[in-house]
Structure 1
């Protein structure tokens, strides 16, 4: 078996390519519809970037990846990630583009070998690729010709995207077809997940999106951490998380823009869960090193565990300083008591309060009862949905609270089918990563 022989020299070329791509900064596909003018037909494929002569960038088991192929993939990566190229990140773009090209060559080579051995068609046909391209165009409210023209306008030959689609579609079908039918999710596995759910029912749940940088894929833990750090910086500057996830994440959720849905304790590495405990909804994490790579997570939402009591409230209030006289407090209290007798609950408190001078009403949203101010908590604990409290004195004034709803925290447990589907996806993703690791190890890969 031939072992990999890798000759590195890409970092030095990254600076040389920076000038060529600085002018190629492009919006992600989602912005094409707003920026591209409709055209009857696509222009001729873009030439190689000025100042770059085409040569060999890498050899993968005798298959050549040219510098033109690499430049084109970099342009595509920039256009689809939403990250603006700079002197600092161009080397990362080049590294990721080359890794992707090498992986795709290995995948197609393996699929061609399987086709010969099994005497069956595996690699996606031109028609298959055309369907994927047409779907991309539709998602951007464009015709296929307009979509291709938009790519060409950014210096991207559509054949670059075709090659990427062909490899991805073919590989996904092969992995699912070869291993999907063999995977069996046992009853014990499902029960183990259910037991973890029950144990974690009182703990918070998190709705997250994730990017996972596989250290084995990018050249080790240091490279993974460095790449993740640059991605976090770019997302903090406005690069869209879903686009970054689709292009850089090695997780099975990459195809969904990194959307991992709702998770509970035990579903993510301990390092990630520890970070989530300290985050607020809408917050992006720092790079989180784990055993096999580095995670970046975006906390989209958070909800309390099943043991928590959640209340939805609206209020009507009269502003009063702490120095208000007893007469002022009594007058405000009388006003709110009159209003209280007129409203039937959350449905009309705001409308009726708006007719009373000096009274302001609003929606306080949902909160855990234990997190309410002491005076509010004492009142809410005794009220049922639809009831309105007596006036409550605070440092800000006098308030009456309308209870819109009460419920237990947490969410319904995943069904058996949902658990099986999640476990199936996780195991299939692990198999695919191991398969690729073995292909890289047994290949002859030269980067020049």
Structure 2
């Protein structure tokens, strides 16, 4: 069975976000704000030091120390460059309110990448193997990003430079991401087994939930432990909601700010049923209409933002797929006109074998129109159509039905309870595999942060 590959949270999303580089973002201007709140590990906070104002040119930034991670320095130049990259790829506009969030997220990302590369180099020394991606692998990944934008790598780098972002900034991010993703997948993915009992239990739960409403959801999850506490997570989520309401693309925001395993897919969580997400999220989804964005939803370990893309009824509703052949008739048509129309439709009904050839047969008769009515809930149909559809089996064609618009033949091409789509066991396995590998990766990073000495300035 094929397992999901984009399953390591932030380690998986570099290639996806880079494709958005040309669609949004402006060079960072103004003065970076002081980072507020811890970022994990044994943080030793030095006196605040604001980064200097940044002109458009990437190397005009004066450098000082923004943070030290196990004696390895992150400079204010590194921090400013990463902020520019976040702005360019998230679609969130830099304002006085959002700059601290950009700075916090940029510094957290840089700290995580330093910890990841330090761990990989330690493993390289112990195991005598190469784990950190080579320049050739980084350049290949960059070339693929450029191709996604219908550009050559040189043009892509020039586009970065035009937004004040040095190419080395993206190189460093790519190197850490693909190296860490490969390490997590290689170390844990090959040993991770999803048992048939897990698949069966999930399948039974999904089948039991088929009678409940189902929601097509995109999500952003702000991990409170990662950003320095629940208050910071709530404030950051509120700023992201405001930016998305003003036009920032949800997928780009999710890729850059979400700690969920769905971040690499732009936050796409697919179709979910009540019980698959925290109760607080379920309660919020019940109040949303398709196309609506939620306010921040605090849960036990962080804050969710959800976007309800679509909603469908549970299995208690019956869905029917219909086709029709009809003769248009005014409400005041004569008895003779109605009789002539009925003769035409009865002939079609006798000649057609079902949905497969109804339109073809009807097309041979002058004055008859035919077409596919698609799928609809039985309860939403006009009374005459609903009565006919209730009594027909799949493949059967009704007797002529009179409505104010004309005389109709109705064919039932499909009938099912809402939520009865086939549930693929491979998809269930892939989803469980991705969730578990993502959880392992998050715990690994938590342990690295807790054991590290991290000083922010």
TM-score (norm 1): 0.79
Using CA pairs below 8 Å that are at least 6 residues apart, which structure has the higher relative contact order?
A: 2
What per-residue deviation string (whole Å, max 9, x for no partner) do you get for residues 275-299 of structure 1? 3344444433332222111222233
CA contact (8 A) 1:318 1:332 kept: no
**SS state at 1:299 partner:** strand
Q: Matched residues in 1 for 2:131 and 2:67: separation?
A: 25
Q: Matched residues in 2 for 1:362 and 1:164: separation?
A: 53
CA contact (8 A) 1:246 1:254 kept: yes
**SS state at 2:386 partner:** helix
Superposition deviation, residue 85 in structure 1 = 2.2
**SS state at 2:275 partner:** coil
CA contact (8 A) 1:48 1:71 kept: no
Superposition deviation, residue 155 in structure 1 = 1.0
CA contact (8 A) 1:205 1:304 kept: yes
Superposition deviation, residue 336 in structure 1 = 6.0
Q: Matched residues in 1 for 2:48 and 2:403: separation?
A: 71
What per-residue deviation string (whole Å, max 9, x for no partner) do you get for residues 218-271 of structure 1? 111222222222222222333222222211111112222222233334332222
CA shift in 2, pair 1:433/1:350, >3 Å: farther
TM-score (norm 2): 0.78
Q: Matched residues in 1 for 2:224 and 2:43: separation?
A: 17
**SS state at 2:42 partner:** coil
CA contact (8 A) 2:133 2:179 kept: yes
Pick one of 58, 61, 84 that aligns with 1:47.
58
Residue number in structure 1 paired with 2:282: 273
CA contact (8 A) 1:59 1:446 kept: yes
Superposition deviation, residue 360 in structure 1 = 9.1
CA shift in 2, pair 1:340/1:113, >3 Å: same
CA shift in 2, pair 1:442/1:342, >3 Å: same
Residue number in structure 2 paired with 1:390: 400
Q: Matched residues in 1 for 2:187 and 2:377: separation?
A: 48
Superposition deviation, residue 118 in structure 1 = 2.3
Structure 2 spans left out of the alignment, 5+ residues: 1-40
Q: Matched residues in 1 for 2:203 and 2:338: separation?
A: 51
CA contact (8 A) 1:353 1:361 kept: no
Residue number in structure 2 paired with 1:414: 424
User: Do structure 1's residue 233 and structure 2's residue 261 form an aligned pair?
Assistant: no
Residue number in structure 2 paired with 1:348: 359
Residue number in structure 2 paired with 1:95: 104
CA shift in 2, pair 1:336/1:281, >3 Å: farther
**SS state at 1:93 partner:** helix
CA shift in 2, pair 1:131/1:152, >3 Å: same
Q: Matched residues in 2 for 1:159 and 1:371: separation?
A: 58
CA shift in 2, pair 1:150/1:334, >3 Å: farther
Pick one of 249, 268, 287 that aligns with 1:259.
268
Pick one of 402, 413, 421 that aligns with 1:405.
413
Q: Matched residues in 1 for 2:288 and 2:237: separation?
A: 18
Superposition deviation, residue 9 in structure 1 = 5.1
Residue number in structure 1 paired with 2:43: 4
CA contact (8 A) 1:207 1:263 kept: yes
CA contact (8 A) 2:384 2:401 kept: no
Superposition deviation, residue 109 in structure 1 = 1.5
What per-residue deviation string (whole Å, max 9, x for no partner) do you get for residues 52-85 of structure 1? 5322222222221111111111111111112222
Residue number in structure 2 paired with 1:204: 213
Residue number in structure 2 paired with 1:140: 149
Q: Matched residues in 1 for 2:300 and 2:176: separation?
A: 28
Q: Matched residues in 1 for 2:343 and 2:68: separation?
A: 83
Equivalent residue runs for 1:7-406 within 5 Å: 46-48=57-59, 53-306=62-315, 308-313=317-322, 327=332, 337=342, 340-341=345-346, 348=359, 364-384=373-393, 385=395, 387-388=397-398, 390-393=400-403, 400=408, 402-403=410-411, 405-406=413-414
CA contact (8 A) 1:339 1:352 kept: no
Residue number in structure 1 paired with 2:6: none
Q: Matched residues in 2 for 1:158 and 1:62: separation?
A: 25
Paired residue total: 407
What per-residue deviation string (whole Å, max 9, x for no partner) do you get for residues 152-180 of structure 1? 11111111001111111111111122222
